[in-house]
Amino acid sequence: MIEKIKLQDPELAGFMKKELARQKFGLEMIPSENFVSETVLEALGSVLTNKYSEGYPKKRYYGGNEFIDEVEMLAIERAKKLFNVEHVNVQPYSGSPANLAVYLACCKPGDTIMGMNLPDGGHLTHGWKVSATGMFYNSVPYHVKSDGYIDFEEVKKLAREHRPKLIWCGATAYPREFPFEEFAEIADEVDAYFATDIAHIAGLVIGGVHKSPSEYAHIITTTTHKTLRGPRGGMIMVTKKGLLKDPELGMKIDRAIFPGLQGGPHDHKTAAIAVALGEAAKPEFKEYAAQIVMNCKSLGESLKKNGIKLVTGGTDNHLLLIDLTPFGKGKGIFVQEALDMAAITTNKNTIPADPSSAYYPSGIRLGTPALTSRNMKEPEMKTIGSWIAEIIKLVSDYELGDSKDERIENIEKFREEIAGHALLKEIREKVKELCKRFPLYDGMEY
């Protein structure tokens, strides 16, 4: 498959071969990652990458786009139908510029906006202080309660007090269903634009296992590479409700993407988005989406049975957030690295009211989209949950330390001591055998 790369650039080919092996023989459990189909890979590697297509279908600034127009319009029409929306822009390079375009379309610098606090599970682009969205706009974050659920009394209070121009609903580490109706009611009361970022749950929405925001929100943004199982791209959608609020909203969104933030779209990626949307329209995708959630619930029950604490006590969607504070603060880095050594890929993550920092958080975020793409089901989730619990307990006594020097020293000591540990070797072999039973890209070799 990469024969020409092997001949021309063997060094690069070697890295690609190792990465394919890592994916094939490890458990990818980061909830924002998935495995695309070989059809999506074909589109990404197609001749469409050669074209420059600044502008929009039938309104390009370059010649030779008659077939590119058809590709983009196909992706747009498929998205409109699947998400029940009136207007779609498929050109965002990823989710973050898609979200930034919403600000550009709806707000002026300095306007007040609201989004979920990042350490509580929110996203950088919903107004966090180190993001451009927190620098250029007056961000008033809302939080979750002690039980991990969104604090709607606070949301109402803040919205009434600050009268934001834009309210976000969406997150990167929130394991429960988003209550779109309650957000819509608040946004309508204060005359704010209501934007839902469904980057994580887009595939679940299409599959019918998470409610759709289309009748509640004015704007919907999403990435295309998570539960939607497409390429690494983004989309912005405007609903019927959005156009009733502002008939020019679709045009404003388009202008925000181009020429406001981006140049020409990545046409090969647009084609791959069209492929993924076509796949998501098939009946078997609903089965896939339902299995993601069933798998995540099963994984959560296995973890709890083995003595592991979960934020909110479980999940309604594709992800879980493990609370490691029963073992101490800042344990996320130890657990993530130990799991890596056992070929289980997750990510350290803050938990609500985290006693540590974002770089040394007290949680682990994990999910089931990629495992479900391999056709794993509840029995495998129970086994994987028990392995993860064993590894958490193995490293639970390691302490982070308070000073920078102490942390560096303690982490290095941990890496030296844990490397080659018998339990991690044993689980790694078990992981490899499990992955052989559920092959990925069967027959593909680099």
pLDDT confidence of 216, banded at 50, 70, 90? Answer: very high
- Average per-residue pLDDT for the chain: 97
pLDDT confidence of 327, banded at 50, 70, 90? Answer: very high
Q: What is the arithmetic mean of pLDDT over 228-250?
A: 98
State the catalytic residue, choosing from 42, 54, 188, 301.
54
The two tokens of residue 246 are: 């502002």
Has 120 been annotated as catalytic?
no
> Is the alpha carbon torsion for 110, 111, 117, 121 positive or negative?
negative
169 touches 152 (CB < 8 A): no
Has 226 been annotated as catalytic?
yes
State the catalytic residue, choosing from 17, 24, 33, 52.
52
> Is the alpha carbon torsion for 290, 296, 298, 301 positive or negative?
negative
Q: What is the arithmetic mean of pLDDT over 100-116?
A: 98
Per-residue pLDDT, 197: 98
The two tokens of residue 190 are: 């204060």
Under CATH, which architecture does the 45-280 domain have? Answer: 3-Layer(aba) Sandwich (3.40)
pLDDT confidence of 1, banded at 50, 70, 90? Answer: confident
Alpha carbon distance 120, 146 (integer Å): 10
pLDDT confidence of 408, banded at 50, 70, 90? Answer: very high
Per-residue pLDDT, 280: 98
The answer to whether residue 443 scores a pLDDT higher than 90 is no
343 Rama sector, left if φ>0, alpha if ψ -120 to 50, beta otherwise: left
State the catalytic residue, choosing from 125, 221, 222, 223.
223
Has 160 been annotated as catalytic?
no
All structural domains of the chain with their residue ranges? 45-280, 284-437
DSSP assignments along 139-192, one per residue = E--B-B-TTSSB-HHHHHHHHHHH--SEEEEE-SS--S---HHHHHHHHHHTT-
pLDDT confidence of 318, banded at 50, 70, 90? Answer: very high
17-74 pLDDT tens trace:
999 999 999 999 999 999 999 999 999 999 999 999 999 999 999 999 999 999 999 9
Distances, alpha carbon 64 to alpha carbons 42, 258, 264, 270, in Å? 22, 19, 14, 17
State the catalytic residue, choosing from 78, 226, 229, 297.
226
Per-residue pLDDT, 298: 98
Closest of 223, 205, 212, 220 to residue 180, by C-alpha: 212
Alpha carbon distance 264, 360 (integer Å): 38
Alpha carbon distance 370, 383 (integer Å): 16
165-188 pLDDT tens trace:
999 999 999 999 999 999 999 999
112-160 pLDDT tens trace:
999 999 999 999 999 999 999 999 999 999 999 999 999 999 999 999 9
Give the distance, in angstroms, between the CA of residue 169 and the centroid of all CA atoms in the same chain: 14
351-379 pLDDT tens trace:
999 999 989 999 999 999 999 999 999 99
Which residues have a Cβ under 8 Å from the Cβ of 229 and sit 6 or more positions away?
A: 34, 35, 36, 37, 40, 203, 276, 279, 280, 288, 369, 373
- Give me the percent of the chain exceeding a pLDDT of 70: 100
Closest of 236, 317, 282, 321 to residue 56, by C-alpha: 236
Has 56 been annotated as catalytic?
no
Per-residue pLDDT, 321: 98
- The β-bridge partners of 87 are 238
Per-residue pLDDT, 445: 87
Q: What is the arithmetic mean of pLDDT over 76-97?
A: 98
Distances, alpha carbon 341 to alpha carbons 334, 344, 394, 422, in Å? 11, 7, 13, 11
400 touches 337 (CB < 8 A): no
Has 197 been annotated as catalytic?
yes
State the catalytic residue, choosing from 17, 80, 211, 232.
232
- The β-bridge partners of 384 are none
Task: Indicate the SS3 state at residue 113.
Answer: strand
Has 232 been annotated as catalytic?
yes
Per-residue pLDDT, 30: 98
Per-residue pLDDT, 333: 97
Give the chain's end-to-end CA distance (angstroms, integer): 6
Identity of residue 384: I
State the catalytic residue, choosing from 28, 197, 254, 279.
197
Burial of residue 412 (CB within 10 Å: 0-12, 13-18, 19+) is exposed
Spatial strand order in the sheet of 193-197: 87-89, 234-238, 219-223, 193-197, 166-170, 112-114, 138-139
Distances, alpha carbon 193 to alpha carbons 37, 164, 169, 385, in Å? 36, 9, 11, 41
The answer to whether residue 446 scores a pLDDT higher than 90 is no
Same fold, 45-280 and 284-437: no
What CATH fold (topology level) applies to the domain 284-437? Answer: Aspartate Aminotransferase, domain 1 (3.90.1150)
Per-residue pLDDT, 39: 98
